[in-house]
Structure 1
Amino acid sequence: MITVQDLGGPTAVARMVHLSVPTVHGWKAIPEHHCPTIERATKGRFVCEQMRPDAPWLRVPDKSWPHPKGRPVLDVASIAKEAA
């Protein structure tokens, strides 16, 4: 699992996701909803599946996205199924 430190530390990540450094400093794991922003900011060097391998990621074809399979989306249907 990729951590904030792997991404350059709290200051670098805070810039990527437009949050304060103290907010990012408190993260134990990168929140799923910030993973796509970080993936794009790093030009695909770090992908959502690496940052949150526990999340059910899918890829939607998008040639403008840095990942060859497209942009990441969470499979919320599988999350809802698990909750039921």
Structure 2
Amino acid sequence: MRPTSEFIREVIRACGGASKIAEARGVLPSAVNNWPLRRQIPADCCPSLEKLSLGRFRCEQMRPDVEWSVLRASGAEGFSRVDSGL
């Protein structure tokens, strides 16, 4: 199930707002503000949002369609081996 627009807005607020996320990701704030309209956060943004939200929102919540356990275990970009519990 896709996250609701309100859930995505909560994630954005918890991360310090669209401007802070945009600066951290190297995109325009308008791109971040479009996420609730599309009801989807780009998967490659989820690891940094998890960190910006201090773990309040996990990648698994933001994009349940992605196999995050595999990426965490592999130490993929954005995830350290500590993130995976290994």
TM bin, normalised by shorter chain, reads 0.5 to 0.7
Matched with 2:31 is 23
Describe the SS at the equivalent of 1:36.
Answer: helix
CA distance in 1, matches of 2:29, 2:10: 15
Which residues in structure 2 correspond to 1:1-84 (within 5 Å)? Answer: 1=3, 2-3=7-8, 5-7=9-11, 8=13, 9-27=17-35, 28=38, 29-58=40-69, 59-60=72-73, 62-63=81-82, 65=83, 69=85
CA RMSD of aligned residues (A): 2.3
Gaps of 5+ in 1: 71-84
Describe the SS at the equivalent of 2:10.
Answer: coil
Question: What is the total number of aligned residue pairs between the two structures?
Answer: 66
Q: Deviations over 1:41-63 (max 9, x none)?
A: 12211110000011121222723
Larger radius of gyration: 1
Q: TM-score, normalised by structure 2?
A: 0.59
Gaps of 5+ in 2: 74-79
Percent sequence identity over matched residues? 32
Q: TM-score, normalised by structure 1?
A: 0.60
